[in-house]
Amino acid sequence: MQEISKTGRTIVVIAVLIILAIISAVALSYLQSKNNPSHGELETWTPSDSLHPVTIHQPDLMPMVDSGKKDREGKAVMIRCNNCHDTKEPNTLTEKASDLNDFHQHMTFRHNSLKCASCHHPDDYESLRLADGSSVTFSNVMDLCAQCHGPQYRDYNNGSHGGMNGYWDLSRGPRTRNNCVDCHDSHAPAYPKVMPVFPPKTRVGTQGAGGHQH
Amino acid sequence: MSGHHKESCGSHCGCHTPPSNGGNDEGLFNRRNLLKGAGATLGVAAFAKAMAPITEWKESTSVDEFLQTHYRELSKDQLAEVITRLEEETKNDYGAEVNISDVRPQKGVKFGYALNLSICVGCRRCAKACHEENNHDRTSGNSYITVLEMSKGSMDMEQGHADYNHPVPQPDKFYMPVQCQQCENPPCVDVCPVEATWKEPDGIVVVDYNWCIGCRYCEAACPYHARRFNWTKPEVPKEEINIEQGYLSNRIRPQGVMEKCTFCLHRTRKGKLPACLEACPTGARVFGNLLDPTSEIRTVLANKRVFVLKEELGTKPNFFYFFDE
């Protein structure tokens, strides 16, 4: 009888030791995982109310035209629009450079069938004119473009048209955006053809993407 | 057999040699000694060659690097040590003082990217910006982005050409930049035998360059040809090194490991736009937080005709393409 209880006691002691070992192992691994940052809680992103600004790049220079003459340093002499247009009678039907006797001769116009006065204000050539006759400054040219290019203006406002720089997360930093006229020449707005940069040197470049011979 | 004389094998093969007492005067230059000498020389040479990786080891791999554990098992202090060591190594190898950060993902952020194929002109400025931002090897001109010239009407990226070199855009072509699609179900992660690549909570598939063994299984598994292998130690001139680096992204990779686009996580996890987007002159690229219903990317997904590449493979990309009209 005594022998049996001895064996029983040993078994109980061993069992208790094993249970203790398991508990301490679990506790240790828990502590370790607590110390380990990669298993820890992640910081939560919350959109903040105080957002940084989105700045649209503005063409702030006074509009000028090339006189066709060069100064002593070889730079083109630029002349303000109102130098001439203040006194000249506007010809609202002009649509080609060849219609004119001087100035604007180098310019090409490929903007559908628009005439100069479709956008330029005939009473004040240093501002632009909206379709309703109200004038708008050159720096707010996007209001003018938006009159005809609604889908592009909508996409621009949704962030899916036009280049940008800065932060996707406006709670952490500002963003700057291109103006229409940064990429599109208002007189010939189709995006020009360009030579691609950075030709590939890897095997992927000399063959098709999937490695097919063409 | 036992009955035969000791010195002979018993046949007429001619192997019987006279007892060697007379051979002593031949000195060192008998056949046996020469063979022994040649064998020993070859053995020493082979041993030296076999040991070469260990003797040369110190230059390329430090003991710390060899013993370094997986990124996800590093404690904060261990990671800080690793980063200090990597910064020192970059200083020694490239002469540049770099700042390697370990920016963690955020809850509530899942990155998505969309690309407007109606606008992209194929100028490859994104690929160039990637090359510079991510400290790619200058010699191979590596980049995570491949811009494919595609025939209008085709959607098969395998038929695209990356080596076009003429004014773009051509009227009968469209241009499709392809980079890592940060799949929900990434085949590259599934095939990695050592779990050196995994998907982070914000959706970005990353590589621990110090855990990767360079087997290139992931490169073979990726249906978008988005993974790159470092055949050589990257060569980047000191003044061209981008010193703002991330442990999991654009730090200079060792030779013999895989690398991939990380949506510039060293920038985007700090709230900035990726380098390829900032370089895009047309604004074809839209980037943002898929979990923010007011984000630009969500507006695109809700309002545009969006598709993903090789949808039939079930990889569920977080990179979307769309057309305006």
- Residue in A43, A151, A196 nearest the CB of B165: A196
Q: How many domains does chain B have?
A: 1
Kindly identify which residue of chain A lies nearest to residue B278, measuring between CA atoms.
A165
Predicted confidence band at A204 (pLDDT cuts at 50, 70, 90)?
A: very low
Candidates A160, A176, A183: best to mutate against B (most CBs of B within 10 A) is A160
CB contacts of A208 in chain B (<8 Å) are: 158-162
CA distance A142 to chain B (A): 16
Is there a domain that residue B73 lies in?
no
Residue A35 backbone phi and psi in degrees, to 5: -70, -25
Give the tens place of pLDDT for each residue, A54-92: 999 988 667 888 877 888 888 888 888 888 888 888 887
Helix (H, G, I), strand (E, B) or coil at A65: strand
Contact A38, B74 (CB under 8 A): yes
CB contacts of A46 in chain B (<8 Å) are: 108
Q: Is B126 on the interface with A (CB under 8 A)?
A: no
Q: Which residue, A50, A47, A54, is CA-closest to A156?
A: A54
CA distance B90 to chain A (A): 25
CB interface of B with A, residues 162-181, below 8 Å: 162-169, 178
Question: A–B: how many Cβ contacts below 8 A?
Answer: 166
Give the tens place of pLDDT for each residue, B22-74: 445 556 788 888 899 999 999 999 998 888 766 665 555 678 888 889 999 99
Predicted confidence band at B1 (pLDDT cuts at 50, 70, 90)?
A: very low
Q: Which two tokens stand for residue A151?
A: 């889908």
Lookup result for tokens 């013993």: B67
Residue B198, strand partner residues? B206
A97-106, A132-141, B164-173, B196-205: the lowest-pLDDT one = A97-106
CB interface of B with A, residues 1-20, below 8 Å: none
pLDDT given for residue B56 in this prediction: 61
Higher pLDDT: A40 or B29? It is B29
Residue B111 backbone phi and psi in degrees, to 5: -80, 140
CB contacts of A163 in chain B (<8 Å) are: 278, 280-283
Candidates A33, A168, A193, A201: best to mutate against B (most CBs of B within 10 A) is A168
Q: Is B107 on the interface with A (CB under 8 A)?
A: yes
- Residue in B160, B273, B289 nearest the CB of A165: B273
Residue B131: which domain range?
Answer: 111-323
pLDDT given for residue B18 in this prediction: 53
CB interface of B with A, residues 263-302, below 8 Å: 268, 270-273, 277-278, 280-283, 286-289, 292, 294-296, 299-300
Supply the CATH number for residue B217's domain. Answer: 3.30.70.20
Kindly identify which residue of chain B lies nearest to residue A156, measuring between CA atoms.
B283
Give the tens place of pLDDT for each residue, A144-164: 999 999 999 999 999 999 999
Is there a domain that residue B297 lies in?
yes
Give residues with Cβ within 8 angstroms of B197, minimum separation 6.
B188, B189, B205, B206, B207, B208, B212, B218, B258, B260
Lookup result for tokens 């559908």: A112
Q: Which two tokens stand for residue B222?
A: 């990726």
Q: Which residue, A43, A130, A59, A125, is CA-closest to A90?
A: A125
CB contacts of B133 in chain A (<8 Å) are: none
CA distance B34 to chain A (A): 52
Q: Is B125 on the interface with A (CB under 8 A)?
A: yes
ipTM above 0.90, yes or no: no
Is there a domain that residue B121 lies in?
yes
Domain borders along chain A are: 59-183
- Residue in B106, B121, B178 nearest the CB of A191: B121
A99-108, A117-126, A132-141, B213-222: the lowest-pLDDT one = A99-108
Do the Cβ atoms of A160 and B114 come within 8 Å?
A: yes
Contact B242, B101 (CB under 8 A): no
